[in-house]
C-alpha cells in the first residue's frame, strides 16, 4: 500500500485476521513433522508403503536454509522419495535445486561418430533414450522401480517399451 501498488480498500477487505508465519529457516524443528506429513501424503496418493528417512538425510534437510520455505521442502521430499532406491530415503536422494544442475552435468556425454552423423537428431535422441531405458530396466527389480529411477510414470515407461517392441528395433 505504501508503494501504491495495492489498493487500500482491497487490503482492508482481506486483512480480517492477520497471521504471521515465520519462514521455515526459523522453524527447523518443524522439518521432521513436515517431512513425515509429505511422505504420508505421497504414499497415500501412490498407494505405497510410507518410506523412512535416514538420520543423515534428515540432518541434510535441517541444515538447508530453505529460501523456498515449505513448498521447497515438499518438492525436495517428493523428489527424494522418487529417487530413492531403498526403503528409506538416504542422503544421496536429497537433492536441492542447485544440486540437480550438478547431477545433470555428471551425466554421460554422447560422442558423435560417423555412424550417428547419418541420422537425424530425433533418431539419435530416440536411440540414446532406448539405450538408457533398457539399461535401467535390466538393472531394476521391476518396471515400477525403473520408472522411478528414470523419473517417469509407470505408464509412460510401459508405453515406451510397447512402442519399441512393435517398431523395428533402433540400431544401437
For 81-95, how does the pLDDT look when each residue is reduced to its tens digit (9 = 90+)?
888 878 899 998 898
Judge whether 66 and 23 are in contact, CB under 8 Å.
yes
CATH classification at residue 142: 1.10.10
pLDDT tens-digit profile of 98-124?
777 655 455 455 455 555 556 677 777
Q: Where are the beta strands (DSSP E) in the chain?
A: 52-53, 88-89
Of 52, 76, 105, the last residue of a domain is 105
Backbone φ, ψ for residue 108 (5° rounding): -60, 140
Digit-coded pLDDT (tens) for 13-40: 888 888 888 999 999 999 999 999 999 9
pTM confidence score: 0.54
Domain containing residue 89: CATH number: 1.10.8.60
106 vs 79, higher pLDDT: 79
20 within some domain = yes
Nearest CA among 60, 70, 74 for reference residue 23: 70
Q: Number of structural domains, the chain?
A: 2
Q: Are residues 39 and 62 in the same domain?
A: yes
Cell numbers for 92:
544421496
Going by C-alpha positions, the residue among 88, 85, 63, 61 that lies closest to residue 75 is: 61
DSSP one-letter code for 37 = H
Range of the domain at 28: 8-105
89 φ/ψ angles, rounded to the nearest 5 degrees: -70, 125
Residue 171, domain member (yes or no): no
Looking at 84, 105, 126, which one is the last position of a domain?
Answer: 105
In a shared domain, residues 95 and 138: no
Residues 136 and 70 in one domain: no
Amino acid at each position: 500500500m505504501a508503494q501504491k501498488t495495492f489498493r487500500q480498500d482491497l487490503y482492508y477487505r482481506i486483512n480480517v485476521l492477520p497471521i504471521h508465519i515465520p519462514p521455515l529457516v526459523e522453524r527447523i524443528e518443524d522439518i521432521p513433522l513436515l517431512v513425515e506429513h509429505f511422505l504420508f501424503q505421497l504414499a497415500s496418493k501412490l498407494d505405497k508403503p510410507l518410506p523412512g528417512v535416514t538420520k543423515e538425510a534428515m540432518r541434510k534437510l535441517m541444515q538447508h536454509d530453505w529460501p523456498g520455505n515449505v513448498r521447497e521442502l515438499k518438492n525436495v521430499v517428493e523428489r527424494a522419495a522418487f529417487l530413492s532406491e531403498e526403503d528409506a530415503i538416504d542422503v544421496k536422494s536429497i537433492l536441492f535445486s542447485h544440486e540437480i544442475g550438478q547431477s545433470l552435468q555428471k551425466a554421460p556425454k554422447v560422442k558423435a561418430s560417423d555412424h550417428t552423423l547419418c541420422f537425424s537428431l530425433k533418431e539419435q535422441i530416440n536411440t540414446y533414450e532406448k539405450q538408457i531405458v533398457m539399461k535401467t530396466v535390466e538393472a531394476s527389480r521391476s518396471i515400477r522401480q525403473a520408472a522411478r529411477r528414470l523419473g517417469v510414470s509407470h505408464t509412460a515407461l510401459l508405453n515406451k517399451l510397447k512402442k519399441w517392441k512393435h517398431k523395428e528395433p533402433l540400431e544401437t
